[in-house]
Amino acid sequence: MKIGIVSIQKNRAPWLHEWVAFHHLVGVSKFYVYAHNCSDASGAVLGRLAQTYDLQAFALNTQENQVQLKAYQHAYEHFGHECDWLAFIDGDEFLFPTAALSLAEALAPHQYRRVSAIGVYWVCFGSGGHLQEPPGLVTQNFRQRPPLGFPDNQHVKSLVRGRQASRVGPNSHLFVTPWGTEDETGRPVTFGRTEHTPSYAQLRINHYVTQSREFFQRFKQASGAADAGAGYVRPDSWWLKHDRNEETDDSMAPWIAPLQREMARIDLPQPGWPWLAQAA
């Protein structure tokens, strides 16, 4: 089974190699990354990563709205035939199997079902009290989150079956598909945010939605939104809503040592190098 990932990312050079290496470990074999209005070292990092992984990178230098949806549609039209399943996720989202050893093993029960996409629920993480952006792995630095019942955890991102007449939907979370989208339990998903209680028995996305306070104030707050527009500014109320740190979450613990070994193998600088100096 061949699994790919499509992602549109902006100025995430310090963490791109962690994101790619992690998804390689969980069984992704093909990467399609759209670098959107990047002013940091993203291009150079993606070039280095393409020497090790099956990765194609595209530069998107545009201020137009809905660029994320257009990138997703481009990816499915041009590369959907290359994969059995394509995940469409962001650079602060880490997709992994929760019981199986690989995504292919987790997706095997769905391979011959009449379903075109699996909606995978995310788990939002807070800042963990970090005022400055810490060096090292995002997946290791940020372990605090709200309870799993946090309403925003009802969002899904899509794992879309390849080689079908699917197309991107009204938002970045859901595709319009021949056989529809279901979550891992078989419940229908008809919008990017469901009414279901999220299930994480097979698959999960850790969504490091805030990172540090510094990261929010100096980058994310005024960075726009790829599926809305470059002028979008997140209000302070967004931070207050999402910076929830009541519970410690060690779901990434089994992956940290293999991830560190994989990152040592690809020989790029450690995550979190002074990224502010890289972004003019």
> Measured between alpha carbons, how far is residue 135 from residues 14, 132, 244 in Å?
9, 9, 21
Tokens linked to 198: 């999220």
> What are the start-end ranges of the H helices in the chain?
13-25, 42-49, 67-79, 103-107, 138-141, 213-215, 236-242, 253-266, 275-278
Which range, of 3-12, 128-137, 204-213, 271-280, averages the lowest pLDDT? 271-280
What distance in Å separates the CA atoms of residue 190 and residue 268, rounded to the nearest whole number?
Answer: 41
Q: Which amino acid is at 186?
A: G
Q: What is the pLDDT of residues 8-45, one digit of tens each?
A: 999 999 999 999 999 999 999 999 999 999 988 999 99
Percent of the chain with pLDDT strictly greater than 70: 93
Q: CA-CA distances (angstroms) from residue 160 to 35, 56, 88, 150, 235?
A: 21, 19, 8, 25, 32
The C-alpha atoms of residue 57 and residue 34 are separated, in whole angstroms, by 6
Report the relative pairing of strands 175-176 and 30-36 from DSSP bridges.
Answer: unpaired
Question: What pLDDT digit, counting tens, does each position of 186-239 carry?
Answer: 999 999 999 999 999 999 999 999 999 999 998 888 876 655 556 778 899 999
Architecture of the domain whose range is 3-269: Alpha-Beta Complex (3.90)
